A and B are shown apart, each in its own frame.
Chain A
Amino acid sequence: MNMILPTAAISATPNGTTRPQVRIVIVGHVDHGKSTLVGRLLHETGSLPDGKLEMLKAVSARRGMPFEWSFLLDALQTERDQGITIDTTQIRFRTRSRDVVLIDAPGHAEFLRNMITGASQADGAVLIIDALEGVRDQTRRHGYLLHLLGVKQVAVVVNKMDRVAFSAERFKEISDEISAHLTGLGVKPTAVIPISARDGDGVAERTPRIDWYKGPTVVDALDALEPARPLAELPLRLPVQAIYKFDDRRIVAGRIESGSLKAGDEIVIMPAGKIAKIKTVESWPVTPLQGPQGAGRSVGITLDRELFLERGDIIGHSGQSPRDTRRIRARIFWLHDKPLAKGEQIVIRLGTKESRATVVAIEKAIDPGALSNEENTAIARNHVGEIDISLAQPVATDPYTDNPRTGRLVIEVNGRIAGGGLVLSVDAGRPAVPVDIVPVESALRPDERSARYRHNGAVIWLTGLPGSGKSTLARALERRLFGNGGSPILLDGDTLRAGLNGDLGFSPQDRAENIRRLAEVATHLARNGHIAIVAAVSPSAADRAAARRIADSAFREIYVATPAEICEQRDPKGHYAKARAGTLQGFTGIGNDYQPPTGNELTIDTSIRSVAEATEEIEQMLAKTGVLFDELTDLAANI
């Protein structure tokens, strides 16, 4: 079958005119026929160099192999030996109305990084599916990655129709399945085309064998692709690449990712939020440039004042600047051998900005090749997920939906790109988690400690009004546990306020932070096998709930529910008196600002219990909830 397009129709446009250039990538499962389709397309569009086809046919004959169209692309020695495409290859040809740069991308899962390298440069994609094999894991994975890479124009070709006797039913089956998958990802296929790349059906012509098909051919579909346009309509984003001082000019250099700029514009430099005006737009050999410069241009500007700015800053117009943040949620793909897990130290690149960062949470982890989601603790190689990242430095960025250029990032591990993805949201309000922490694990295992102390680690949280008896109980409990060979440690709220929490006052925010720090310290001790006894008024139910989240299963909350009037009578620290006299502000006890707990492990009223009785009750609770080991049971077990 020979169906060379009329040459006049392909190369009618003389050189120098502006035919749209589109870059396309062909993706899909290994062996579904990508390279064969590319070879066939080159032939059908009359794009092969003279002698290339004959040369390859001769090489095939010399090796005693039948000629395959894929040999055209598989020019590397290693590829011919292994029979798979290792890396992306770029080939150019022309359709009626487009100059096409064709990026072939490997389908083998091993080479997903190469598929991503190729597909990230594409304006549109052709997703190829073997009619016999149907949709496979790599088909689904590539579909998912096209979505993550922001490739919106996707044509699906169902190849090897000759192997299913050009069955319209089989075609519809596959067409329905892949359309549903892609639509679910927010990608609408521009066409689904039945073809035989080997024989040529559907590539440039609707042959009689697929006469039931009325849609476009592959060449038609390529003809309909639109090149990506620079983001002229969006607000100005100029990421700073460098500041040059080669002569007396101080030139801020970068590429305009969106919007436009010109001399005289008032700009904001993010994340610092500094304001300046553009003095000149510099160039070479003619400078300065007059008039606006638009998205896609690499420019240099000078400013009307000396400001400190640096590589990684983003310049926007006043009132339309990007966000500044140290917390980002992102949807990413992961290419590194070692799965990405919570707590991982990484480097983030957002445009020209580089920042160290910590993975605060893995919110989702999905194998995009599988039909269902399975994991969510770590993102494995070639899988995708959603993560919460905390950055060491403030950065300027936009959510991807606001600006696809400044809303994407890559992740580096050991100086090598290990993943990338889209900024889903930024949260300027949440505190950053410090980077550069390398947690050192204790030399001792928890069971070594518990064997000695005869208890597990725990956080015993005593909450109640001032004067309710928390500190008294805490001290008694500490003595008792210690006497039994345990390792109790007292964390008194007031004592810690003198040191660790000395910077905090009594505003709701400061109280919350006070509780958070207490909970963190206590949890650390509990993890190391100690029993941390926290005595703190902790009036806010929300703050205590936060403490419980931190300490998790080690948390034992005891409400010291002594009636308010008795607490005021006792007034061991003289606070009630001062508060009544009006000299102590923000005191919990007078008024109704204490929120009694619900769901606490134990409630004790010290007005009707002696200290010894109360301590006994606490011990029983600790034994019952697995903190203290039951001596008798243990002894019995040893007999």
Chain B
Amino acid sequence: MHLLDNESAAAGSRPALFAQASSVPGIAAAQPPSMDHLDELEAQSIYILREAFARLKKLALLWSLGKDSNVMIWLARKAFFGRVPFPALHVDTGKKFPEMYAFRDRFGKEWDLDLRVEPCPPIDSVDPTLPPAARSAARKTEGLKLALNKYGFDGLIAGIRRDEEATRAKERVFSPRGTEGGWDVRDQPPEFWDQFNASPPPGAHLRIHPILHWTEADIWAYTKRENIPIIPLYLAKDGKRYRSLGDADITFPVASTASNIDEILTELDGTKVPERAGRALDHETEDAFERLRVAGYL
């Protein structure tokens, strides 16, 4: 009955709120290690992933094979102690770089992911009024909708970041999507103090953005610190490298000599070129990106 005795003793005592830590037995003098910037980002992302897992029934993580979603998978393994407890969904346009497919096939196995590859519909089924690159990206949105319907996910974890693009800066961490996958930027719920709106209406789903608060430089610094594998296309070859990876036909390299992560970080520190400069779809018309996001693009 040792346990019961302890319990009743605890119930009877009124805790002193401001007792000195040193006066409490069991708390040694040793100070916990202080947290640096990457520690803070990591802790916050883990908190978000665990909240999503606790509050949604059927989650999937969108794995685009790029540097951001690779960091996200790493964070999920940290959050859940080595195991990603939901499927990794790759909505496949069929037009990624061969290096990306090789990466997927290798690390899908090594990281023990529940990998679901879902193909996109043919290009004919996509809004022909969109400019060519945007239309190609919209095809991916259609593929995503098909996958959503097929599995009935109520939450999709996506690796977007506020610093990537102005419209993404307006995102919530838990972002409700309509039944058609659309984003209503005008009616976003309030979100504060790490309290998230996790009850999408029937038929709708949530996007969950665990690395929304990270920057491109954060991603690289963390990738280096944690020794997370990367696709070699990110490193300079013949004076060019990819800063952002999408479909092979609408993604272009930027001029760079950075051949390792340290050099990438030095380069980013000085650059004023936007990260998505090599992504054609961002530049076709002034509002192409926003139109895509309202329709459910990441």
Contact = CB atoms under 8 A, between A and B. Distances in A.
Interface in B183-209: 185-186, 188-193, 195, 197-199
Contact of A15 (B44, B51, B189, B265): B265
B192 A87 contact: no
B39 A265 contact: no
B221 A16 contact: yes
Contacts of A254: 50
B32 A408 contact: no
B54 interface: yes
A291 B34 CA distance: 12
A284 B76 CA distance: 10
A501 B16 CA distance: 38
B190 A91 contact: no
Contacts of A21: 37
A398 B17 contact: yes
A420 B192 contact: yes
Size category of the B interface is 35 or more
A66 interface: no
Contacts of A554: none
Contacts of A89: 166, 169-170
A97 interface: no
Nearest to A115: B190
Contacts, number: 211
Contacts of B32: 232, 260, 262, 291-295, 297
Contacts of B162: 90
A402 B17 contact: yes
Interface string B233-274: 000000000000000000000000000000001101100111
B13 A265 contact: no
Contacts of A291: 30, 32-33
B287 interface: yes
Contacts of B85: 246
Nearest to B166: A75
A114 B33 contact: no
B199 A296 contact: no
A297 B43 contact: yes
A119 to B, nearest CB: 8
A59 interface: yes
A144 B266 CA distance: 42
Interface stretch (B2-10, B59-67, B89-97, B115-123): B2-10
A275 B217 contact: no
Given A75-B167, A120-B192, A321 B81 contact: no
Contacts of B13: 319
A543 to B, nearest CB: 29
A410 B193 contact: yes
B185 A265 contact: no
A49 B273 contact: yes
Interface stretch (A194-202, A310-318, A584-592): A310-318
B269 A274 contact: no
Contacts of B11: 273
Contact of A246 (B7, B81, B186): B81
A359 interface: no
A292 B167 CA distance: 40
A25 to B, nearest CB: 12
A119 B42 CA distance: 22
A432 B81 CA distance: 39
B193 A285 contact: no
Interface stretch (B19-27, B129-137, B139-147): B19-27
A232 B36 CA distance: 14
Contact of A114 (B47, B53, B188, B274): B188
Nearest to A300: B81
Interface string A73-95: 10111100000001111111000
Contacts of B273: 49-50
Contact of A49 (B3, B33, B43, B272): B272
A415 B286 CA distance: 35
A233 B27 CA distance: 13
B104 interface: no
B170 A76 contact: yes
A393 interface: no
A86 B185 contact: yes
B268 to A, nearest CB: 8
A285 B227 CA distance: 12
A322 interface: yes
A318 B11 CA distance: 11
Interface string A102-120: 0000000000011011001
B58 interface: no
Nearest to B190: A113
A320 B22 CA distance: 12
Interface string A595-637: 0000000000000000000000000000000000000000000
B81 to A, nearest CB: 5
Contacts of B186: 78, 86
A230 interface: yes
B73 interface: no
A294 B35 contact: yes
Nearest to B189: A416
Interface in A1-56: 11, 14-16, 18, 21, 48-51
A251 B81 contact: yes
Contact of B15 (A18, A242, A249, A322): A322
B151 interface: no
B125 interface: no
A45 to B, nearest CB: 12
Contacts of A295: 32
Given A15-B217, A48-B272, A76-B290, A117 B15 contact: no
Interface in A389-412: 398, 402-403, 408, 410
Nearest to B32: A294
**Most central of B43, B79, B81 by chain A CB within 10 Å:** B81
Nearest to B34: A294
A297 B35 contact: yes
Contact of B81 (A90, A287, A320): A287
Contacts of A297: 32, 35, 39, 43
Nearest to A322: B15
Contacts of B167: 75-76
Contacts of B30: 262, 291-292
B272 A316 contact: no
Contacts of A77: 286-287, 290
B286 A59 contact: yes
Given A15-B217, A282-B81, A296-B40, A90 B35 contact: no
A476 interface: no
Interface of A: 11, 14-16, 18, 21, 48-51, 59, 73, 75-78, 86-92, 113-114, 116-117, 120-121, 149, 230, 232-233, 235, 241-242, 244, 246, 249, 251, 253-255, 259-260, 262, 264-266, 268, 273-275, 282-285, 287, 291-298, 300, 305, 311, 316-323, 335, 349, 352, 398, 402-403, 408, 410, 415-417, 420
Interface of B: 3, 6-7, 9-11, 13, 15-19, 21, 24-28, 30-37, 39-40, 42-44, 46-47, 50-51, 53-54, 77-83, 85, 162-163, 166-167, 169-170, 172, 185-186, 188-193, 195, 197-199, 215, 217, 221, 265-266, 268-269, 272-274, 286-287, 290
> Can you list the 9 inter-chain pairs with the closest CB atoms, starting with the nearest?
A294-B32, A415-B199, A75-B166, A120-B192, A113-B190, A298-B46, A50-B272, A292-B32, A87-B170
Given A293-B32, A300-B81, A417-B195, 11 more contacts: A16-B265, A75-B166, A117-B192, A235-B18, A244-B81, A255-B47, A273-B10, A284-B78, A320-B15, A321-B10, A335-B190
